[in-house]
Structure 1
Amino acid sequence: MSFNLLKGKKGIIFGALNEQSIAWKVAERAVEEGAEIVLTNTPVSLRMGTLNELAAKCNAPVIAADATSVADLEHLVDEAMKHFGGPFDFALHSIGMSPNVRKGRTYDDLDYDYLQKTLDISAISFHKMIQVLRKKDALREWGSIVALSYIAAQRTLYGYNDMADAKALLESIARSFGYIYGREKHVRINTVSQSPTPTTAGNGVLGLKDLMEFAESMSPLGNASANDCADYVLTLFSDLTRKVTMQNLFHDGGFSSMGMSRRAMRTYEKGLRFEDVHEHQFPFGTGDNKEE
């Protein structure tokens, strides 16, 4: 159902790869709500994914750009402004990747060259994107920039690794640049802290299935899907949120405000009872237990 929230608005969507991508869902919904968009991703991602299918569906051009390259970003923004006939209204940063996660390096055994790549791809690219947009005066007055984050920026979640550091930096950039861009052109910058979501990047996180099940049991509204996230992002692109900026906005079914749910407590108690019985039957252990 369309509400024409973005009628007449134009923007760039970074990071759509395939139908699992949140950016893919945002692009689809933005067009449904009346927006005109440009799609972008790295040249490698364009070869790996199915972005051309989305482009055809949304009647949108695809402009290859590595978001870690200022030169690529400058070219992208120039071409987008040519396509739109001038400045535009919004940009979505949906970019994240950790070589350490992909290579199975744990947080206490990071490869620091990989860490630098994690930070550059997942967070510093956000700063570069905003800086290029601002220097080229590419966004209209009261424009909106949104990046996708995760609660691991504030809380330790096993397996999220150095991506937690990247998300913390991402959120800091939104606050720091939000002040500058807001003061100058009323451009607002926010991050959305989404539920664990089985995107291509998300599936690389150790124990994602268990994490999703835990979050589902903790959240009174359940996990927010990629489609749910797209709907929320659209409100931040719209004129309905003109005075919301420099915020990290939790979109997680209430997970971020919970201590312990009844459902999670019951699961925990069952586990304790199982351990008590196991210890009674095997008081000296089975020889295969490892401390975690």
Structure 2
Amino acid sequence: MTLPTAKAKLLEGKRGLIVGIANDQSIAWGCARAFRALGAELAITYLGDKAKPHVEPLAQEVDAEIFLPLDVMQDGQMEAVFDRIAQDWGALDFVIHSIAFSPRDTLHGRVTDAPRDGFLKTMDVSCWSFLRMAHLAEPLMTKGGTLFTMTYYGAQMVVENYNIMGVAKAALESAVRYMAAELGPKGIRVHAISPGPLATRAASGIAEFDALLDKAKSDAPARALVTIDDVGATCAFLALDAARHMTGQVIYVDGGYHIID
């Protein structure tokens, strides 16, 4: 894919961290493309050695200045990423947190039956990691900034087969509101972006996901599925000074699907 064109480099001079690119179908990749198209400089992470060959060419495509491994379940890796950003850049303007995980047996089982270990891993990766990133980003955002995470409609309503991830995303959305209140006086904004169903690698773990895609396409007022570039464009807009009075929100990018019963 080629980068989308932009008439103005509205984010030139801004620097940000993108977490969650697995391949060229990832939401985080759509965000990286949109931010780079507007002139932002990027730091990009990859999950591990298996993911690196898939992510490294994408990082090169958007001229990522920092490229490091990040498994949020590995002690010290997140701190190492932010230490490198502090060393190389000394400041940070935005963070994209686009990761979530639940053990297969926990995700596919009833919420009522969730084992403690599976529940804690789900919350650790899908919610707490965003809190920790905000904690580490805060001292680097001396002139303000924007923190983004990805959520889904299943945080608000019961969606068949979404199960324990809906619980984790509900906690994540609540965390966004509290973080926005706490960090707002420092000029740091916090948003949860809620895309409609997307055919990403992460979504492939949800049972009967193809049926959910078909339903979204047929029922959404826009009669179309959202793309990763749609999500990226929304995030890029929210990072602009023009959106400086928007914070603590769940932003739906789903063709209106969430308004339909």
The structure that has the greater radius of gyration is 1
Q: Give me the whole-angstrom Cα distance separating, in 1, the residues matched to 2:178 and 2:78.
A: 20
Q: Secondary structure at the match of 2:136?
A: helix
- The answer to whether residue 252 in structure 2 is matched with residue 250 in structure 1 is yes
Whose RCO is larger (CA < 8 A, sep 6+)? Answer: 2
Q: Which residue of 2 aligns with 1:212?
A: 213
- The answer to whether residue 51 in structure 2 is matched with residue 46 in structure 1 is yes
Aligned residues: 254
What's the TM-score, normalizing by structure 2?
0.91
Q: Secondary structure at the match of 2:67?
A: coil
Q: Give me the whole-angstrom Cα distance separating, in 2, the residues matched to 1:40 and 1:140.
A: 23
Check 1:101–1:159 CA distance in 2 against 1; reply closer, same or farther (3 A cut).
Answer: farther
Residues 68 and 124 in structure 1, CA contact (< 8 A), matched pair in contact too: no
Check 1:211–1:101 CA distance in 2 against 1; reply closer, same or farther (3 A cut).
Answer: farther
Residues 5 and 235 in structure 1, CA contact (< 8 A), matched pair in contact too: no
Q: Which residue of 1 aligns with 2:193?
A: 192
Higher mean displacement: 93-102 or 118-127: 93-102
Q: Give me the whole-angstrom Cα distance separating, in 1, the residues matched to 2:158 and 2:148.
A: 23
- Superposed CA deviations along residues 223-276 of structure 1, whole A, max 9, x for unmatched, are 2111111111111122221111011111111111223xxxxxxxxxxxxxxxxx
Higher mean displacement: 99-108 or 154-163: 99-108
- The answer to whether residue 30 in structure 2 is matched with residue 25 in structure 1 is yes
Q: Which amino acid aligns with 2:188?
A: V
Q: How far 1:44 moved relative to its partner?
A: 5.1
Residues 105 and 111 in structure 1, CA contact (< 8 A), matched pair in contact too: no
Q: Which amino acid aligns with 1:197?
A: L
Q: Which residue of 1 aligns with 2:15?
A: 10
Q: How far 1:191 moved relative to its partner?
A: 0.4
Structure 2, unaligned runs of 5 or more: none
**Aligned residue runs from structure 1 range 72-221, under 5 A:** 72-84=77-89, 86-100=90-104, 104-134=108-138, 137-183=139-185, 185-221=186-222
- Superposed CA deviations along residues 3-37 of structure 1, whole A, max 9, x for unmatched, are 32311110000111101101011112211110100
Q: Which amino acid aligns with 1:81?
A: A
Q: Give me the whole-angstrom Cα distance separating, in 1, the residues matched to 2:188 and 2:235.
A: 15
Q: Give me the whole-angstrom Cα distance separating, in 2, the residues matched to 1:31 and 1:37.
A: 7
Q: Which amino acid aligns with 1:54?
A: L
Q: Give me the whole-angstrom Cα distance separating, in 1, the residues matched to 2:228 and 2:105.
A: 22
Q: Which amino acid aligns with 2:84?
A: E
Residues 17 and 45 in structure 1, CA contact (< 8 A), matched pair in contact too: no
Structure 1, unaligned runs of 5 or more: 260-292
Moved over 6 A (4+): none
Check 1:188–1:93 CA distance in 2 against 1; reply closer, same or farther (3 A cut).
Answer: same
Residues 29 and 228 in structure 2, CA contact (< 8 A), matched pair in contact too: no
- Superposed CA deviations along residues 72-131 of structure 1, whole A, max 9, x for unmatched, are 2222111012222x1121000000111136874343432321111011011111111111
Q: Secondary structure at the match of 1:88?
A: coil
Q: Which residue of 1 aligns with 2:234?
A: 232
Q: Which residue of 2 aligns with 1:66?
A: 71
Higher mean displacement: 103-112 or 222-231: 103-112
CA-based RMSD: 1.8
